[in-house]
Amino acid sequence: MVVIGITHAPRVARVIRSATSGVVAEDYVLASQMYAVPQWKILGRDVVPNIMGPLMVEMGLRMTYSIGAVASLSFLGLGMQPPTADWGLMINENRIALSLQPWGVILPVIAIAILTVGTNLIADAVSGASAGRTTGSARKDK
């Protein structure tokens, strides 16, 4: 898990740097700097809320890739060992009896799919909430 996190860190850092460089050039950040607002306040009030959208999308993608990598490594026997409950390990152990009892393989695959789709939906919802998007038809027109 640590190795997978370390391998994804440079890509996340690149997205954060790219999003931050776009926000720092905005007029409201320059105005805050002009009024001598401390850098940590500018970062907390102006920069971080405006990069949460791209950051959450990237984190959702990286989480999906990490789930797939952990499951793949466990399937290959390089992850968790047999007494531990792991979906990739369950698929590997039950693949021999696939023709007799397919649910032993299908259910962990479905669980991995639900987890990855759910992770992306949650990341997209947080990204949309930070960007001010709303869903639903309950709009109040004035």
Residue 84 carries which DSSP code? S
* Total domains present in the chain: 1
More confidently predicted of 54 and 133: 54
More confidently predicted of 133 and 88: 88
Residue 35 domain-assigned? yes
- Cβ atoms of 47 and 33 within 8 Å: the answer is no
Residue 142 predicted with pLDDT over 50? no
**Which tens digits make up the pLDDT trace of 68-103?**
888 887 878 777 777 777 788 778 777 777 778 888
* Whether this model's pTM surpasses 0.85: no
Q: What angle do CA 46, 24, 51 make, to 5 degrees?
A: 55
Residue 15 domain-assigned? yes
Going by C-beta distance under 8 Å and a sequence separation of 6 or more, which residues neighbour residue 51?
16, 19, 20, 23
**Which tens digits make up the pLDDT trace of 11-70?**
989 999 998 998 888 888 888 888 888 888 888 888 888 888 888 888 888 888 888 888
Domain that holds residue 8: 2-131
Residue 127 domain-assigned? yes
Residue 41 domain-assigned? yes
Lowest mean pLDDT among 73-77, 83-87, 112-116, 138-142: 138-142
Residue 138 domain-assigned? no
For residue 14, give the nearest of 67, 68, 51 by alpha carbon. 51
Residue 65 domain-assigned? yes
pLDDT at 136: 52
pLDDT at 134: 53
Residue type, 18: S
Other C-beta atoms closer than 10 Å to the C-beta of 16 total 15
